[in-house]
A and B are shown apart, each in its own frame.
Chain A
């Protein structure tokens, strides 16, 4: 397997080798897409009204394709930086398995296709939000903020928070307080999630010249900021209950899961460890943050199905 991989890469450098179809799949960041699809699906499931199954499927597919397109364009732009980071050096572009032009064409084509298809299958608002989310991720986050400011993922986090709005808008044709609350939860969840990761891959970001918070302001500030944004995220997570947009099931789930998140964030904030090999609590917080978002969204859907206080059309 290793020999085959080496031969392939060597061949690519000698001859213009067409990229393998699996590399196009890898370009869409399938793992990141999972969370995006899930949050979009939840937005769609809790929206009042009815969408035929095939249109609902198409809406979720378009959210996935749009996220994949944004991921492809992100990798197109960041190929040089990815090559400098251990975590991303194996991606199709830095590994030399695909040309940048192929990635660009693929990303632009998929973006246009996903937006048009969503517009045709559902409505203009859903398609417009999808278009904004792709443009925001590529231009605002990837090209403008990421290489310039340590606050990159604070503002850029909005790009990943759009899917529940898209899912909701696909059904109703408008936006409402509940999907906006879900947007806020994801938006404020992004900083502690990414900074927990940035703490233990700090050197990777430093080598690539990306001004992530631990690189620019140090670990102590980052740990404090993780706690600060966890507090705001907690408030956002409890807001749907306080605003009576959800019921008891969501309320209890949000309270328990957020309390666990807060306890882990406090532990991380109080630590002074700088050796990545000893950053167990930071790695646990990062992993738990992914589970947290899944649980929060799942709770909204279950709460809706059971019928507690979800707003009617």
Chain B
């Protein structure tokens, strides 16, 4: 593996990790909001 390829792999892994962290963070907030809305609706059993 050439240094260029190594660099490209690391670059992609880094950008994927950042995107994954953002997506997971967004879903944590969404799940919290959904749970809150369901409780407010009175449908949570």
Q: Which residues of A contact B (CB under 8 A)?
A: 7-8, 11, 14-15, 17-21, 52, 54-55, 58, 61, 117, 120-121
Contact = CB atoms under 8 A, between A and B. Distances in A.
Main SS of the interface on chain A? Answer: helix
Contact of A54 (B1, B9, B33): B33
Nearest to B26: A61
Interface of B: 1, 4-5, 8-9, 12-13, 15-16, 19-20, 30, 33-34, 36-38, 40-41
A54 B37 contact: yes
Contact of B37 (A14, A15, A52, A117): A52
Contacts of B34: 54-55, 58, 117, 120-121
Most chain A CB neighbours (cut-off 10 Å) among B20, B33, B36, B40: B33
Given A18-B13, A21-B16, A52 B40 contact: yes
B41 A52 contact: yes
Contacts of A120: 34
A54 B30 CA distance: 8
B15 A20 contact: yes
A55 B37 CA distance: 7
B13 A14 contact: no
A17 B8 contact: yes
Contacts of B13: 18
A11 B41 contact: no
Q: Lowest 8 CB-CB distances: which A-B pairs, in order?
A: A21-B19, A52-B37, A54-B33, A54-B37, A18-B12, A121-B34, A21-B16, A15-B5
Contacts of B4: 7, 11
Contacts of A55: 34, 37-38, 41
Given A18-B13, A20-B16, 10 more contacts: A11-B8, A17-B5, A18-B12, A21-B15, A52-B37, A54-B30, A54-B37, A55-B41, A58-B34, A121-B38
